[in-house]
Copies of this chain bind each other. A is one copy, B any other.
Amino acid sequence: MTLTLGELAAQLGAEVHGDADCELHGVGVLHDAQPGQLSFLANPKYRKYLAATRASAVILSPDDVAHCPGNALVHANPYLTYARAAALLHPLHRPAAGVSEGAWVDPAADVHPTAHVAPGCVVEAGTVIAERAIVGPNCVVRRNSRIGAGTRLVASVTLCADTQVGQGCVLHPGVVIGGDGFGLAPDGQGRWERVPQLGRVVIGDDVDIGANTTVDRGAIGDTVIHDGAKIDNLVQIAHNVEIGEGSAIAGCTGISGSSKIGRHCTLAGGVGLVGHIELTDNVHVTGFSMVTRSIDEPGVYAGGIPAISHAEWGRNFARIRKLDEMAKKIRTLEKQLAELAAQAGRGD
């Protein structure tokens, strides 16, 4: 889509510096943008590219206007403004409303006429698919599930029975919601017996779930993901977990059963949480950490094994690389001390 700088400014609540009639057709990064593209400067380390950029306009903060030789769109939050501008210039592809030939929809499913169901989908009885929802190719929506207004299942998503998904969510390909939790009872004779997993998965509004991520249904109560939570690819969320509003979880992370993550938390990639613990609001866990106990103070936590504070970990971790040296120093001290003690004993 083509928009002028002035039109963008009006829609984004930003201020134009330069030519408001300049036409923009797309976006590009500063050092690589072409004429006709809009770029942005959010990180000061890229300021060096500002002088030579070929972008037709740049989104930047008031502080950077002076450095910009060309057109600019000025806003206090350039990255957010870029995100919104890019969405305006590249509107989402919307397939036509209706159930496609090649989809298999049970007559007892309730699909809103403005929703889209693509070929290869299987939609079972008792399901509700709300207005403007998009169910992409080869998705499975099992019985008694509900998909909220405007939510998109991109493709090859599987919702098991009773799954509730709110409005405006995006579920990427390969996502599985509502598989059984890993609930096993030992029978005392070496066999595991399945514990029926009777809860549901309940997902709020504006939640994103990345490719091949899995969210298990609750054992008795529900697994709950609150509004605005964002989950990356290949994340495992076990039964009865609760993810607070606006929390973000990066790829390859695993959260064990019944753990609760507060609001506005972030977990970096490859994190592991043991079960039955609780993270309060505004807890940030750095990559590859294993969190083995509850955290009741907001802050940044890190560590190979228990989550310890970033500063504490940094100080100690650096020493791991000195361990061999430390051990040798101890041996030297022991020898010197023994000699000194012997001297003292001999009265040298």
Contact = CB atoms under 8 A, between A and B. Distances in A.
Given A80-B187, A173-B179, A185-B80, A234 B214 contact: yes
Given A80-B193, A272-B269, A252 B232 contact: no
A343 B346 CA distance: 13
A121 to B, nearest CB: 8
A243 B102 CA distance: 37
Contacts of A122: 102, 118-120, 137-138, 155
A321 B308 contact: yes
| Copies of this chain per assembly | 3
B274 A193 contact: no
A318 B327 CA distance: 11
Given A228-B191, A348-B344, A80 B186 contact: yes
B252 A252 contact: yes
Interface in A302-318: 304-305, 308, 312, 315-318
B234 A254 contact: yes
Given A158-B174, A179-B154, A334 B337 contact: no
* Among A315, A319, A337: residue with most chain B CB under 10 A: A319
Interface in A114-156: 118-122, 124, 136-138, 140, 142-143, 154-156
Contact of A120 (B104, B160, B194, B220): B104
A124 B102 CA distance: 13
Rank and list the top 8 A-B pairs by shortest CB-CB distance, nearest first: A319-B323, A122-B137, A179-B211, A252-B254, A104-B119, A158-B173, A176-B211, A211-B214
